[in-house]
Chains A and B, each alone.
Chain A
């Protein structure tokens, strides 16, 4: 059986309504039960309940916005990588971004015993893991970008990105071998991913970089579409291949690199969302795909976060586990239903 193809305006309106619904749902759910009417009062400024106000405005709202940014940003950077490398297995992290970020965080959290006082000094700062992860992913990406300017073959860049990733992972392994149980635990908690720890201040910085990454992605739509024909055809259409490739890599680094720095490595979304979108929209035209991936990414991430909260309980599950638990079956279901993969 084939899924019917609905006209694009219908699909987009549906997705937009879905996004608004999931956003409100995400705001209304949490460990403390707040009735919907009170929620409305808080936003219209009529609420007298100070602690509820605080929970919604300073915790749930920034978290929901972060969730939208993370879902859409990772989805889009996954789409960029899959098109650039013409590989359905590529995701935002193929260029070694996560490994770079992990390396940065590993050095701060676990390198303390090796580096002595310096490490502990940085550790005290609340921004430490953000700075370390940014530096780590930035350094790995810089290496990949430098190499990509020299290397002609797009596939070679993919392999080089994977190699850089493996090297950083190896360093992390060595570090964890020499570190204490406490340090290991701290590192692993970062690895679970977390959406709810951002202050408004951090969120605005994240939103700024995210917006720049998004704008660069939009400016690359034409390039992405010409890459659908292959590198040589793209060149024959007047594309400066190296510059176009660099633009796509920079957009991905800004999006995935910053997101990973702030929220930890959130797996799966970047790989799965472009596939879900292609199966539903049945096109590879990036003018359609880019906004669709944005909406799908945000919606799926909001749903995953709502579930991870375990509403009305004191527990929060690691978001990384939920994304794969929810997203995996969806992708499998779509592929089985369509019988073939469209790429």
Chain B
């Protein structure tokens, strides 16, 4: 077996994120230094309002960083045009689809848009990539269904397949498991793990399902009020980082069982 290439796909250096207006600068988090490697599954966790979304928005070029650097494939993120970024980074967002009146195949094929001509004509290669993405996610039986006929869990799979069809080196998912039941949460996480391993893509997702993320992620980015810590789940537990995640009045982290407990 060949050794996995270890150069970082996406890295940040002393990144500060937040909102800047003419009058004031509101820093949400600072000195964020992370390195995301090829084929890794990375979970981003932290309590509500700590800045997970802001970090994801900054990494996906939706908003500008306050200071610091983001490099994708060793090239500064701001040097990417919208189209060249679309070939390197695909997204799965929390927003609902504007229209569900498309077949699963049509929707997944929209992921090929960065590569198609002005009419969006699908060539053999695009069709093959679309079918491969559908097969990888395991929804081939749904291929000809309309998206409004699907359950939430199935629809999330379709959106992941669409991101896969976009054929990027990194996929970023914003809370892919919210409003799914425990079984389907685990299903999505296992799928992401499998995809990272089999396709060698870097997969970064934000989530509130910390217990599940600890079990499956290669690396976790933990955002606390004081710092942004990146490490393997095992080392993060050793360092006791998860205890600092929430105010300790109601829940605590059980290091033995690797999960949170409600205080009696």
Question: Which residues of A does B touch, CB under 8 Å?
Answer: 83, 86, 219, 221-222, 225-230, 232-233, 235-240, 278, 282-285, 287, 342-343
- With a cutoff of 8 Å between Cβ atoms, the chain B residues found around residue A237 in the complex are 86, 110-111, 113-114, 166
In the complex, what distance in Å separates the CA atom of A98 from the CA atom of B104?
Answer: 38
Tell me if A285 and B106 are in contact (CB < 8 A): yes
In the complex, what distance in Å separates the CA atom of A342 from the CA atom of B116?
Answer: 27
CB distance from B112 to the nearest CB of A (A): 9
Within 8 A of A (CB), among B80-118: 81-87, 89-91, 93, 95-99, 101-103, 106-107, 110-111, 113-114, 116, 118
In the complex, what distance in Å separates the CA atom of A343 from the CA atom of B147?
Answer: 11
In the complex, what distance in Å separates the CA atom of A232 from the CA atom of B146?
Answer: 22
Known: A221-B119, A222-B119, A225-B120. A238 touches B98 (CB 8 A): no
Known: A229-B98, A284-B101, A285-B106. A235 touches B82 (CB 8 A): yes
Q: Which residue of A lies closest to B163 (CB)?
A: A236
Tell me if A222 and B120 are in contact (CB < 8 A): yes
- With a cutoff of 8 Å between Cβ atoms, the chain A residues found around residue B91 in the complex are 232-233, 236
Q: Which residue of B lies closest to A82 (CB)?
A: B99
Q: Is there a chain A Cβ closer than 8 Å to B60's Cβ?
A: yes
CB distance from B246 to the nearest CB of A (A): 29
Report which of A238, A284, A287 forms a contact with B113, defined as CB distance below 8 A. A238
CB distance from B96 to the nearest CB of A (A): 8
Closest 10 CB pairs of A and B: A238-B86, A238-B83, A222-B120, A284-B101, A86-B98, A228-B99, A236-B91, A284-B99, A237-B113, A238-B114
Tell me if A232 and B93 are in contact (CB < 8 A): yes
In the complex, what distance in Å separates the CA atom of A235 from the CA atom of B95?
Answer: 13
In the complex, what distance in Å separates the CA atom of A83 from the CA atom of B97?
Answer: 12
Tell me if B89 and A86 are in contact (CB < 8 A): no
Tell me if A232 and B95 are in contact (CB < 8 A): yes
Q: Is there a chain A Cβ closer than 8 Å to B25's Cβ?
A: no
- With a cutoff of 8 Å between Cβ atoms, the chain A residues found around residue B86 in the complex are 236-238
In the complex, what distance in Å separates the CA atom of A278 from the CA atom of B99?
Answer: 12
Q: Which residue of B lies closest to A236 (CB)?
A: B91
CB distance from B146 to the nearest CB of A (A): 7
Q: Is there a chain A Cβ closer than 8 Å to B148's Cβ?
A: yes
CB distance from B101 to the nearest CB of A (A): 4
Q: Is there a chain A Cβ closer than 8 Å to B262's Cβ?
A: no
Instruction: Give the residue among B62, B113, B116 with the most A Cβ atoms within 10 A.
Output: B113
Given contacts A226-B110, A228-B102, A235-B62, 9 further A-B contacts (CB under 8 A): A83-B98, A225-B110, A226-B113, A228-B99, A230-B96, A232-B93, A237-B111, A283-B101, A284-B99
- With a cutoff of 8 Å between Cβ atoms, the chain B residues found around residue A229 in the complex are 97-98, 107, 110
Known: A222-B113, A238-B82. A230 touches B98 (CB 8 A): yes
Tell me if A343 and B99 are in contact (CB < 8 A): yes
- With a cutoff of 8 Å between Cβ atoms, the chain B residues found around residue A219 in the complex are 118
Name 25 interchain pairs, CB-CB below 8 A, sorted by A: A83-B98, A86-B98, A225-B120, A228-B97, A228-B110, A229-B98, A230-B93, A230-B96, A232-B93, A233-B91, A233-B95, A235-B82, A236-B60, A236-B86, A236-B91, A237-B110, A237-B113, A238-B82, A238-B85, A238-B114, A282-B146, A284-B102, A285-B106, A287-B120, A343-B99
Instruction: Give the residue among A227, A228, A237, A343 with the most B Cβ atoms within 10 A.
Output: A237
In the complex, what distance in Å separates the CA atom of A284 from the CA atom of B103?
Answer: 9
Q: Which residue of A lies closest to B113 (CB)?
A: A237
Instruction: Give the residue among A233, A236, A284, A342 with the most B Cβ atoms within 10 A.
Output: A236
Q: Which residue of B lies closest to A154 (CB)?
A: B98
CB distance from B27 to the nearest CB of A (A): 23
Tell me if B102 and A285 are in contact (CB < 8 A): yes
- With a cutoff of 8 Å between Cβ atoms, the chain B residues found around residue A235 in the complex are 62, 82
CB distance from B49 to the nearest CB of A (A): 20
Chain B window 137-165, contacts with chain A (Cβ cutoff 8 Å), 1 for yes, 0 for no = 00000000010100000000000000000
Tell me if B82 and A239 are in contact (CB < 8 A): yes
In the complex, what distance in Å separates the CA atom of A86 from the CA atom of B110?
Answer: 17
CB distance from A324 to the nearest CB of B (A): 25
Known: A222-B120, A237-B113, A282-B146. A230 touches B85 (CB 8 A): no
In the complex, what distance in Å separates the CA atom of A240 from the CA atom of B61?
Answer: 13
In the complex, what distance in Å separates the CA atom of A287 from the CA atom of B118?
Answer: 12
In the complex, what distance in Å separates the CA atom of A239 from the CA atom of B166?
Answer: 14
Q: Which residue of B lies closest to A237 (CB)?
A: B113
- With a cutoff of 8 Å between Cβ atoms, the chain B residues found around residue A221 in the complex are 119-120
